[in-house]
Each structure stands twice: as C-alpha cells, then as structure tokens.
C-alpha cells in the first residue's frame, strides 16, 4: 500500500476490552475496562460502533454497527501490563521479562545514593496513590523540603514536590538523576515528576513529566525515521520512547488538548506517522476508579471522531488501539491485563474482522505495510 501517505495512530491509554487469557497470573481475572464503563449512563459511542467497534471479538455485550473498518482483538505477548511495555510492543518490541517493581519500596542503597546526589532527604518510599500521597506527606515536604518518593504496582519511581518548594526544572533535574541511577536490576520503566501546588489537601499540576527507560532495540519509530518518514509524537509518546525515533513532538495537558493538537497535525502536510497518546482515561479515571468519568471521556472521544474522519484525505489511515487495561470497577487501582482493540479505518482500507491476533505488534506490522 505505497499510496498511503499518513497514518494517525491513536492510543486510548488503558482502554482494554476484556481479560486476557493469562489475566489470572496478574491477579486480574474477570476484568474488563470497556464492559465496566459501558454500564454507565454516560457511555455513548455511536461513531465507533458505526465503524465496527462492536464487531471486535469479545464485545458481544456491545451494540453492533456496520463494519466499515479492519478490526481485531489483540493479545499482549510481553510479560507486563504497563504503559512502557504496552507502547513498546505496539511499536514492535516484545518484552519477555517484566520491568522491575518494588512492592515494598525501593532498596535503602538506591534511596541513599539518590538522596546523596540530590542533596535532599526522601520521605514515603512505598507504593501509594498519587493523590493520597500528597495529602499524607505534603505538609512534611513543605516543612522539610524532603522529596516524596513513591511507587505503584507499575514499574515506576515517582517524585512528588510542591512547585513553591522545588521549581519545575529542579524537579526534572532530580528525575534525570534518578534515571541515571535506575538501570540494570533497578531499571524501572519510568521515572515520573509529580509536581503539586496550593494548600492542603493540595492539587497536582499539569507539569508531570516522564523519563523512560530506552527501548532495548529498534522500534517502529526508529525504522520509519531512518527511512525518511516524519514521525510525530503527541502527548507522552516522546517520554515513553525516551526521545528516540521522533522527528517532532508536542506535549498535551489532557485528552481535549491531545485531540485538538491531533486535528492541527491533520491540517499539516507530512508523510509518515502521527503517534498519539490520550492519557486521561488511565491517569484521571482508571487509577481513581471513576467509572462515570471514564465513560464520559470515552464518549467525548467518540464525539470527536466525526470531525477527524471528515478531515481525512484519501491517502490517510486512522488506527485506534490501547496499551493495557485499567478497569475502574475492578478491585484496586492498578492496570489490568486485557486484550486491546485494533480498529483501522481509511478509504483504501478493506473492511474485515481479523478475529483475535497474538501480539500488539500487529499494529507496527500494519504501519510498516502502509508506509512503504
């Protein structure tokens, strides 16, 4: 299909579509992000259904629509259920070994080195909810200047600090220091800056920044860039791939901003891939068990789709997928091991249901086939 000029790949972060066959190994038997939010009165996705979303395997609870796309259900091959591993697999890299997690907090040796290099004491050092940790440790941080370091069930090292105590660029510098330390057996997928502001109970700001582990091998992005294609990242794509393989990128504040910036890129002349991550589903709703908010956000994306589709050229292709699940109705607040959807639409794309496919790598295989 060498007559395709542009591919818009949109990852609906955490919008899984039902438990994977090995979900029980991850403690996730019975999870289904899409089924949970579909039971909300705010769930309304006529445009996705009209493209054939409801035809995907396992979505028998969903209304059917006309099949206007190439659809499939994708099973993850990598040993994990986090953002980094999910995106790497979408880009063609399967991770056989899970990234390290620290359910009991980080080793004292690691914390000591981090504290010594930053010149700041560390408090917390345990798995925690991002909104709760600033309530419980925010005032101590204000009094002492100590950094709030915490983790989760994911492979992350998170640093929370009040913007009045630790300026943004200084916090980012501390994150870069942590990233240098966190290699090898300590090599977490992401170091995340989590700034907050105001007075108790405090509020997180939009200045979050991720510092990711570099992919272990070439990804789809690297290959496209090497072959002269434009590779544009929207949202946290640049962070997830540690700045590799992109020719241009832009950060976003939320889903609405991400969708707006995607429309702006649609109006630009380029040849290659526009890779978009819409993070609110996961960060704002999934991890906070907000079923109604998640359903509303999903419906808002659906309402946005017609404007994007109307702006598509004959040589454009749209791919919609996800990187893992985060069932807001499932016990706990962690990611869930789920299948993800694959919906590919374009005037030159044949409508068909490919069934269930092993590997999120199906996405990269198609992008390479389209952009020859």
CATH number, domain of 185, equals 3.30.70.1250
Can you give the pLDDT of all 372 residues of the chain as single tens digits?
Answer: 668 999 999 999 999 999 999 999 999 999 999 999 999 999 999 999 999 999 999 998 766 767 999 999 999 999 999 999 999 999 999 999 889 999 999 999 999 999 999 999 999 999 998 999 999 999 999 999 999 999 998 899 999 999 999 999 999 999 999 999 999 999 999 999 999 999 999 999 989 999 989 999 999 999 999 999 999 999 999 999 999 999 999 999 999 999 999 999 999 999 999 999 999 999 999 999 999 999 999 999 999 999 999 999 999 999 999 999 999 999 988 899 999 999 999 999 999 999 999 999 999 999 999 998
Distance CA 19, CA 136 (A): 34
326 and 261 in a common domain: yes
pTM: 0.90
261-285 burial, b if ≥16 CB within 10 A, otherwise e?
bbeebbeeebebbbbbbbbbbbbeb
> Does 137 reside within a domain?
yes
Structure tokens at 356: 């269930």
What are the residue ranges of helices labelled H in the chain? 33-38, 46-51, 83-90, 108-118, 130-144, 168-181, 220-226, 237-240, 255-266, 280, 291-310, 361-370
312 and 220 in a common domain: yes
Structure tokens at 137: 């440790």
The per-residue pLDDT for 139 is 97
160 and 52 in a common domain: no
Total residue count of the chain as it appears in this document:
372
The per-residue pLDDT for 66 is 78
The per-residue pLDDT for 198 is 96
Reduce the DSSP state of residue 10 to 3 states and report it: strand
169 and 114 in a common domain: yes
Which of 177, 212, 247 finishes a domain? Answer: 212
Number of structural domains the chain divides into? 2
201 and 153 in a common domain: yes
66 and 22 in a common domain: yes
345 and 286 in a common domain: yes
343 contacts 323 by C-beta, under 8 angstroms = no
> Does 85 reside within a domain?
yes
> Does 254 reside within a domain?
yes
359 and 321 in a common domain: yes
274 and 167 in a common domain: no
The CATH number linked to 357 is 3.40.720.10
Which of 197, 212, 227 finishes a domain? Answer: 212
Helix H or strand E segment including 230: strand 230-234
> Does 365 reside within a domain?
yes
224 and 207 in a common domain: no
> Does 344 reside within a domain?
yes
Range of the domain at 313: 6-97+214-370
CA-nearest of 1, 21, 12 to 320 is 12
77 and 223 in a common domain: yes
Distance CA 258, CA 327 (A): 22
C-alpha distance from residue 110 to each of 62, 176, 186 (Å): 48, 14, 8
The per-residue pLDDT for 62 is 66
135 and 84 in a common domain: no
- Alpha-carbon Rg for the chain, nearest whole angstrom, is 20
> Does 351 reside within a domain?
yes
> Does 112 reside within a domain?
yes
Reduce the DSSP state of residue 345 to 3 states and report it: strand
Which of 164, 181, 212 finishes a domain? Answer: 212
> Does 103 reside within a domain?
no
């Amino acid at each position: 299909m060498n007559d395709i000029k542009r591919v818009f790949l949109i990852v609906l972060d955490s919008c899984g579509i039902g438990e994977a066959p090995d979900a029980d190994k991850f403690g996730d038997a019975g999870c289904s992000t899409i089924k949970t939010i579909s039971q909300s009165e705010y769930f309304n996705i006529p445009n996705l259904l009209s493209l054939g979303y409801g035809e995907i395997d396992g979505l028998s609870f969903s209304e059917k629509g006309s099949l206007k796309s190439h659809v499939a259900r994708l099973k993850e091959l990598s040993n994990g259920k986090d953002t980094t591993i999910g995106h790497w697999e979408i880009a063609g890299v399967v991770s056989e070994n899970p990234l390290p997690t620290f359910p009991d907090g980080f080793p004292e040796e690691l914390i000591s080195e981090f504290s010594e290099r930053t010149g700041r004491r560390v408090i917390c050092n345990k798995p925690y909810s991002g909104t709760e940790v600033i309530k419980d440790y925010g005032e101590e941080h204000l009094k002492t200047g100590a950094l709030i370091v915490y983790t989760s069930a994911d492979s992350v090292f998170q640093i929370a600090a009040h913007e009045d105590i630790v300026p943004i660029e200084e916090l980012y510098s501390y994150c870069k220091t942590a990233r240098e330390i966190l290699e090898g057996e300590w090599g977490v997928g992401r170091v995340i800056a989590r700034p907050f502001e105001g007075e108790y109970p405090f509020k997180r700001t939009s200045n979050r920044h991720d510092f990711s582990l570099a992919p272990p091998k070439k990804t789809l992005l690297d290959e496209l860039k090497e072959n002269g294609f434009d590779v544009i990242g929207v949202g946290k794509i640049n962070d997830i791939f540690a700045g590799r393989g992109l020719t241009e990128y832009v950060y976003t504040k939320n889903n609405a901003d991400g969708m707006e910036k995607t429309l702006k890129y649609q109006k630009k002349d380029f040849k290659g891939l526009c890779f978009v991550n819409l993070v609110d589903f996961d960060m704002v709703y999934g991890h906070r068990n907000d079923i109604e908010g998640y359903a509303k956000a999903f419906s808002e994306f659906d309402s946005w789709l017609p404007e994007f589709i109307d702006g598509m050229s004959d040589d454009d292709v749209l791919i919609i997928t996800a990187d893992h699940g985060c069932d807001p109705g499932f016990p706990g607040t962690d990611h869930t091991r789920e299948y993800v959807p694959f919906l590919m639409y374009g005037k030159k794309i044949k409508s068909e249901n490919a069934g269930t496919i092993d590997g999120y790598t199906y996405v990269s295989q198609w992008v390479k086939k389209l952009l020859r």
